[in-house]
Amino acid sequence: MKHFLEEYRYIIYTFVLFLFVANTFLDNKIITYVVGVLAIPMLFISFLYAAKLFRVLGLIFLLVGGGLFVYSGLPFYELPLFFTSTMPLLSFLAVLPWMNSVVRSGRFDRRINELMKTNISSLGNLYTRSSLTTYILCTYINLSALSISQEVLQDNMGKMKKKLRDSFISQSTLRAFSLALAWSPMEVIVAITVDGTGVSYVTFLPWLLLCSFTVLFIDLVWGKRKYGSMPYEQSEANRKQSLSFKQIFFHIVKLTTALSIFLVIVVSIGNYFELNFILSVTLVILPFSFIWAWLMKRFRSFVVIGWSSWKLRTNGMQNFVVLFLTLAFFSSSLNETPFLQFIQQPFFAAADHPLLILFLIQLTYLVMSMIGVHPIATIGILLEALPPLFEIINPLSIGIVLITGALATATVGTYGVTVTITAMNTNQSPYRITVRNLPFALLYGGVGTLIGFFILYL
In the prediction, which pLDDT does 311 show? 94
Q: Is the pLDDT assigned to residue 190 strictly greater than 80?
A: yes
Q: How far apart are the first and last CA of the chain?
A: 60
What's residue 239's pLDDT?
54
| Each residue's pLDDT tens digit, 388-413 | 899 889 999 999 999 999 999 999 98
- Total Cβ atoms within 10 A of residue 355: 14
123-141 and 245-273 are packed helices; what angle lies between their axes, rounded to 10 degrees?
30
Complete DSSP assignment for 97-150: HHHHHHHHHTTHHHHHHGGGTSS--BHHHHHHHHHHHHHHHHHHHTHHHHHHHH
pLDDT tens digits along 6-44: 788 999 999 999 999 999 889 899 999 999 999 999 999
Among candidate residues 118, 100, 120, 125, the one with its CA nearest the CA of residue 314: 100
Chain segment 74-84, per-residue pLDDT in tens: 999 999 999 99
Please determine, for residue 194, whether its predicted confidence score (pLDDT) is greater than 90: yes
State how far the Cα of 197 lies from the Cα of 203, in Å rounded to an integer: 12
Cα–Cα distances in angstroms (integers) from residue 284 to residues 96, 153, 197, 281, 295, in the given order = 10, 34, 22, 5, 16
Dist CA 254 CA 131 (whole Å): 20
1 pLDDT more than 70: no
How far lies 314's CA from each of 4, 17, 47, 221, 321, in Å? 14, 11, 15, 39, 10
Tell which wins on pLDDT, 209 or 273: 209
**pLDDT given at position 433:** 93
Amino acid at 425: N
| C-alpha to C-alpha distance for 378 and 142, rounded to whole angstroms | 21
For the segment 219-226, the average pLDDT, to the nearest whole number, is 94
| pLDDT score at 236 | 53
Q: Is the pLDDT of residue 415 over 90?
A: no
The pLDDT of residue 458 is 81
- Distance between CA 30 and CA 310 in Å, rounded? 29
Q: Does the pLDDT of residue 353 top 60, yes or no?
A: yes
Report yes or no: 440 and 223 within 8 Å, Cβ to Cβ. Answer: no
pTM above 0.85, yes or no: yes
